[in-house]
Chain A
């Protein structure tokens, strides 16, 4: 037995998936790729207002002033196809991507009966899950993929064409009542059949296979095969791509963060739910913003503790976007998620790890936003004799090994009081008597030097442009302060104060 998930008006539903509030309104989809762009799909509210397929946008708006015209989006159709296939794959390992918005599944081996589940309950779950992704689906069951598709097209929202021998008659009766157009014959054959007055499948079958083949050729035989319960075709099985992305092209250029965040919130929800369906969480987000200038802004968000919590994921994106300045408006948005298995972490009694790495990552992003990345981080010492040599690195506390031996501790050259450095060093006037500093004058202190240690000479990088040399003293001034002063080719400075 086969099941088919059918999404009516697939292109339109793909576009309206991120604006579910528009689904009840009069909306029509125009395909800009057609030689003469016309309406290809529309909502029932638009149909009630007299709009139909084939009208141009201006003709349609003349019939319905409130009509919302949406352009067809291949990118959003791709995302919706991903959602459809991934959802189907969560319910059956044997799936086929039959057409846009149509997915065929084989029920063999699923053991629904053993689980005490009826096919209607099973199909209800599929429809419910797709509903979470704002896709209205119909599910049909049949002995062959073609019959299942026929059932799905006519379902409301579930229809089963029973395959058991005892119910064959009733199944055949249902199929025979379907319009002949549901077999999707070629336009030429459909026109001939309509001129003959053949409206239903039952009337078509009554003509006889041989008679029809003689007059209309092999294409007509194919129509007979589609409704035959005895010739199931094998499925072209696929595994859905392990890519989880949502994308959108904006009708109007975006210049502020509010509409962008609105769309991102939806994307985050959708991606999180898609991963939840297969028991995974988000480990990384890849954000891509298409700009009107043609350039692209890309950023990768590594989630410190992979999670599926929408609030945490969205806050991370929001915090980052508050600091982003683009030189031109945004025209498209793409958010891709890299999945990972959820990590179960148990804290040890003597282990020290971050309680909430995601919260910390957000705090760090906020700190970086207002103080600057060069001023927030973990210092890493540079192996150099040059004073105050270090570089700032991004903290990786969540990766910090729990059991490692600590190397932290006083360095060997640490002796005496600690220095509070002036960054940059404070330019000073130092008066020297007999080669020794005797008087200090700067913003912090002006007065005589009463005691000193030094000079201490140091230099380095003489082999490159970063050459440096300095002559240092530790001095005590008349008010009892202890300073480190130095003389370099650039002048005299106070490097810091001891405390």
Chain B
């Protein structure tokens, strides 16, 4: 139990510096609201969906693991709910012709390098206007991804905490240390998948979900 002086000091700091995070805030245990994705294997383990105001990392380590399929599903879901969506396309690879006719609520940022994508993400997260921000780095060269300083993700996490947006970072390997939720895609589709319905494929997506109870904790794994 902290002493009265410590409590007083924390209150004083909170008044003087409203943006300051203190350990007391983290221990409050208040969980952010969630955004249901419509993917049962994601929403059920996460008790409602992707957490708002936190980073979510989707790791696609294997080829043909369904990361583009999942991203498209998230975009559809958000557009279907009349939400604004920003897609920061790290390697200008999004196939928009299969996203539907009305894309008037989609902001597509076509980047050519990881640096550009990170700067764009920084601007959009600071803006705080868009409820869903997707940062796709799956196709970016490994050499560029290795150069991302770890502090970048912590900065993004801090920005996210001030919003109620959902930010999904799609990566080819684990790299977003402060992610509240990490989804590792374990599927491996074959050529026959091209003839099947996307909904059917989405139901078959295998995911390993790790969730931190609170910021700074180790992620706990669950499989779905």
Residues of A within 8 A of B (CB): 352, 354-357, 359-360, 363-364, 366-367, 370-371, 375-381, 387-390, 392, 395-397, 400, 402, 404, 406-411, 413-423, 451-453, 474-476, 479-482, 496-499
**Are A420 and B111 in contact, with the CB atoms below 8 A?**
no
We find that the number of chain B residues with CB closer than 8 angstroms to chain A is: 63
Give the chain B neighbours of A417 by CB distance below 8 A.
64, 66, 68-69, 189, 193-194, 198, 201
Q: For residues 174 through 194 of chain B, which have their beta carbon under 8 Å from a beta carbon of chain A?
A: 188-191, 193-194
**Are B93 and A422 in contact, with the CB atoms below 8 A?**
yes
**Are B128 and A355 in contact, with the CB atoms below 8 A?**
yes
CB < 8 Å neighbour of A381 from B96, B105, B110, B195: B96
CB < 8 Å neighbour of A420 from B76, B93, B103, B128: B93
- If A360-B129, A417-B201, A479-B63 are given as contacts, then 11 extra A-B residue pairs at C-beta distance below 8 Å, sorted by A number, are A363-B127, A371-B120, A376-B107, A378-B105, A408-B102, A408-B105, A410-B98, A420-B139, A476-B190, A480-B64, A482-B64
- Complex Cα spacing A422 to B129, Å: 30
Give the chain B neighbours of A411 by CB distance below 8 A.
97-101
- Complex Cα spacing A371 to B124, Å: 13
Q: Whole-angstrom distance from the CB of B57 to the nearest CB of chain A? A: 16
CB < 8 Å neighbour of A423 from B81, B83, B92, B201: B92
Give the chain B neighbours of A360 by CB distance below 8 A.
127, 129-130
When C-beta atoms are compared, the residue in chain B nearest to A418 turns out to be B68
Give the chain A neighbours of B79 by CB distance below 8 A.
406, 408-409
When C-beta atoms are compared, the residue in chain B nearest to A422 turns out to be B93
Give the chain A neighbours of B110 by CB distance below 8 A.
371, 375-376
Give the chain B neighbours of A418 by CB distance below 8 A.
68-69, 71-72, 95, 98, 198
Give the chain A neighbours of B201 by CB distance below 8 A.
416-417
Give the chain B neighbours of A408 by CB distance below 8 A.
76, 79-80, 99-103, 105
Provided the pairs A359-B127, A359-B129 are in contact, do residues A377 and B108 lie with their beta carbons within 8 angstroms? yes
Provided the pairs A367-B109, A367-B123 are in contact, do residues A378 and B103 lie with their beta carbons within 8 angstroms? yes
Give the chain B neighbours of A451 by CB distance below 8 A.
190-191
- Complex Cα spacing A380 to B109, Å: 14
- Complex Cα spacing A254 to B126, Å: 33
Provided the pairs A370-B119, A375-B111, A379-B96 are in contact, do residues A363 and B66 lie with their beta carbons within 8 angstroms? no
- Is B168 close to A, CB under 8 A? no
Provided the pairs A363-B126, A410-B76 are in contact, do residues A380 and B66 lie with their beta carbons within 8 angstroms? no
Q: Whole-angstrom distance from the CB of A481 to the nearest CB of chain B? A: 5
Q: For residues 158 through 211 of chain B, which have their beta carbon under 8 Å from a beta carbon of chain A?
A: 188-191, 193-198, 201
CB < 8 Å neighbour of A481 from B63, B94, B196: B63
When C-beta atoms are compared, the residue in chain B nearest to A479 turns out to be B63
**Are B82 and A421 in contact, with the CB atoms below 8 A?**
no
- Complex Cα spacing A453 to B192, Å: 9
- Is B43 close to A, CB under 8 A? no
